[in-house]
Amino acid sequence: MLEIKNLHASVEGKEILRGINMTVNPGEVHAIMGPNGAGKSTLSNVLAGREGYEVTQGEVIYKGENLLDLEPEERAQRGVFLAFQYPVEIPGVSNIYLLKAALNAVRKYQGLDEVDAIDFLNLVRDRMKLVKMDEQFLHRNVNEGFSGGEKKRNEILQMAVLEPALAILDETDSGLDIDALRVVAEGVNALRAEDRSIVMITHYQRLLDHIVPDFVHVLSEGKIVKSGDKELAKELEKSGYSWVHDAPEGQTA
Amino acid sequence: MKQLTEITTPFGEVASAKTLPGSELGWLQQLRDKARAQFERHGLPAKKVEDWKYTSLWALSQQGFSHDAKAVSLDKTELSHVAALEDAYRFVIVDGRFSAELSELEGLEEGLSIKPLVDGLEGAQTMLGEQIDVEKPGLNAINTMLMHEGMVLQVQAGKTINKPVELLVISTAENQKLASHLRNLIQLEADAEVTLLEHYVSLADTEGFTDVVTEVKLAEKATLNHFKLQHESLAHYHIATLASKQAAGSHWHTNNISLGGKLARNDIHSQLLGEEAHVTMDGLYLVTGDQHVDNHTRIDHAVPNTTSDEVYKGVLDGNSHAVFNGKVNVHKDAQKTDSSQSNKNLLLSRSCEIDTKPELEIYADDVKCAHGSTVGQIDEQHLFFLRARGLDETAARSLLTYAFAVDVLQRIKSAPMRQALSNVIEKRLPKGA
């Protein structure tokens, strides 16, 4: 599904990612953890194609294509989904319009006709149940006036409608109280599938209590310094990140 | 004073003033003479006049427009593609001439009267010229000298007219370089209500000039929902005054959409003369290429307890230039005035220019007034978000542009009107959405 090879990336001339290696197979859930400034958000932004990040070395292969050669919309159309850490408010664009435009962009790439209006509404209603969102949110502008929890649920709703092959969840737990976290986690868990991979980027272990990963990677100073299974996350919870600097490099699962 | 027979204007010769309507009415001749004297003293406004600082009429004065239009026949099916409203009374002017054949004025609702200017002049003495200042720098004097066509609409006291009225002013390719001087008179008696769309459109890339003054008189508790869609060719000049004197409790909801024209200028003026009078002044301009659009609005809160609400938005692309000047004047005794005004602009290119100037003058001490203007670009965060959801860049930009403009449309209460205007605007956006 996704293969990251020796990925180096800089922001404004400063190297943030210093050789990331990682393989994600279909159906797997990977968690990338690490302290502030480790490069977690840079990694998700590079994968989604945000401007301002310069890849200086390495490659990212997604379903046999070099992901880094593609525009952000081309990545999305091929099934890469980024759930934003800070979802933006877009006045004047309703949620339902966004969902339809996004779904049709994917369908167009797949050679399908635009979605039928009734099928679309049924799909959206069904997916809204996953994240316990009320239908009134469909007709509100994207994220405008939403609480932090509602914004994150809205991201997962978009994921549920678009059914991506690879979802990157960037700090999806940040700013959520425990009830909201549970709703979001249940939504994500319902979307786990054999042909869908999920990469979760998080600072805290608590998300992983709700969405249990197959693999955990520790990112520090732009490199993966340790990989393991879900037990690694618990270790981190106990001892914090201070030890990771001393860990031997390149140890992968 | 010269005899008013041969008139020379910067826009070309007018063959004979005697052919102008109302030449037999003494009061009208006096009005025309006064306007002519005014024009001969001051001519066209120069750029040193503050209100014309950013808009030059020099190019317009060099065009050599003609005032002699040959008659043009259009068929009704052609017209149906041009009209904005499906279900409306329609008053159609083609190349400066009222067309009874193309108009749809059969079976008007009781209390509604619609006539061409020539038939409405008699008895218009207390109305015509009353809402405007003929000495103001601009084209009011020329319009008064030369007005030859227009619509006179009246609604009787207490009548609410259900069907909207579309004033459709068409420029065709048959008459190049034609100047039209139109005067519309809209008079609503007490408690009357009607919805009017002034719609200006070209059928081809015609070079032309529309000079129009619309005077509005609203009696106590009258309501006029007044829309304007200016959608003429990119070679067309359009200069308009829209002015109203509003009595107590009257409502004037204006919405002024400028899409076309090489040069378009609107002067919109409301005088709130009775308590509880309200004016909404909304507007949207979408310009590109070498287009120039200038909206000057003025609201006078002359008495206590009046309200105004103004939202103007602009989208500029290419080398276009837009000007917004919004004056709100709260007079000395106008306590409890409630006024809000905003002008927001979205710049899509590096070479477009906006000059925006809200002006608030307050001479009362117990008032609530807010105003502001902004100039911005498409938000890169918004753009990336939409692209990360699969929309290509053009579609994302187009959607964000529409989203920027849409609240001016959302403020339109009438659903058919909102739909009609949205359809026109969507077609004008950068391709993709």
Domain that holds residue A43: 2-246
In a domain, B12, yes or no: yes
**B70 vs chain A: nearest CA distance in angstroms?**
46
**A190 vs chain B: nearest CA distance in angstroms?**
21
The pLDDT of B52-66, averaged and rounded, is: 89
Q: In this structure, how many other beta carbons lie within 10 angstroms of the beta carbon of residue B271?
A: 21
- Contact at CB, A76 and B389, closer than 8 angstroms: yes
The pLDDT of A43-71, averaged and rounded, is: 95
The pLDDT of B140-147, averaged and rounded, is: 93
Which among B384, B389, B391 has CB closest to A158? B389
User: By C-alpha distance, which of B412, B394, B414, B392 is closest to B402?
Assistant: B394
Clarify whether residues B261 and B387 are in a common domain.
no
pLDDT band at A101 (very low <50, low <70, confident <90, very high): very high
Out of B30-44, B104-118, B417-431, give the one with best mean pLDDT.
B104-118
In a domain, B359, yes or no: no
The pLDDT of B242-271, averaged and rounded, is: 97
Flag whether residue B58 sits within 8 Å of chain A, measured between CB atoms: no
In a domain, A117, yes or no: yes
Question: Residue B432 has what pLDDT?
Answer: 38
In a domain, A193, yes or no: yes
B contact residues 373-402, partner A, Cβ 8 Å cutoff? 379-382, 384-393, 395-396, 399-400, 402
**B232 vs chain A: nearest CA distance in angstroms?**
27
pLDDT in tens, A105-136: 999 999 999 999 999 999 999 999 999 999 99
In a domain, B391, yes or no: yes
- Contact at CB, B389 and A51, closer than 8 angstroms: no
In a domain, B259, yes or no: yes
In a domain, A75, yes or no: yes
Question: Residue B5 has what pLDDT?
Answer: 45
In a domain, B305, yes or no: no
Which among B381, B387, B403 has CB closest to A93? B403
Flag whether residue B205 sits within 8 Å of chain A, measured between CB atoms: no
Stretch among A70-79, B71-80, B393-402 having the lowest mean pLDDT: B71-80
Question: Residue B10 has what pLDDT?
Answer: 64
ipTM of this complex prediction, to 2 decimal places: 0.94
Which among B382, B390, B405 has CB closest to A90? B382
In a domain, A252, yes or no: no
Question: Residue B230 has what pLDDT?
Answer: 97
Number of domains within chain A: 1
- Contact at CB, B406 and A102, closer than 8 angstroms: no
Number of domains within chain B: 2
pLDDT band at B430 (very low <50, low <70, confident <90, very high): low
Last residue of a domain, one of B214, B246, B274: B274
pLDDT in tens, A203-230: 888 889 899 999 999 999 999 998 988 8
Of all residues in chain B, the one with the smallest CA distance to A95 is: B386
Which among B380, B390, B393 has CB closest to A76? B390
Q: Which residues contact B41 (CB under 8 A, 6 or more apart)?
A: none
In a domain, A186, yes or no: yes
Out of B42-46, B159-163, B415-419, B423-427, give the one with best mean pLDDT.
B159-163
Q: In this structure, how many other beta carbons lie within 10 angstroms of the beta carbon of residue A108?
A: 14
Last residue of a domain, one of B257, B274, B291: B274
In a domain, A253, yes or no: no
pLDDT in tens, B164-177: 999 999 999 999 89
In a domain, B65, yes or no: yes
In a domain, B97, yes or no: yes
Domain that holds residue B408: 379-433
pLDDT band at B2 (very low <50, low <70, confident <90, very high): very low
Q: Which residues contact B73 (CB under 8 A, 6 or more apart)?
A: B101
Last residue of a domain, one of B229, B247, B274: B274
Residue B147 clears pLDDT 90, i.e. is over it: yes
Mean pLDDT (chain B) is 92
Residue type, A64: G
- Contact at CB, A105 and B391, closer than 8 angstroms: yes
Question: Residue B226 has what pLDDT?
Answer: 98
User: Which residue, among A71, A86, A88, would best test binding to B if mutated, counting the most B CBs under 10 Å from its CB?
Assistant: A88
Q: Using an 8 Å Cβ cutoff, are B238 and B213 in contact?
A: no
- CATH of residue A38's domain is 3.40.50.300
Residue B210 clears pLDDT 90, i.e. is over it: yes
Clarify whether residues B386 and B267 are in a common domain.
no
In a domain, B354, yes or no: no
Residue type, A247: A
pLDDT band at B372 (very low <50, low <70, confident <90, very high): very high
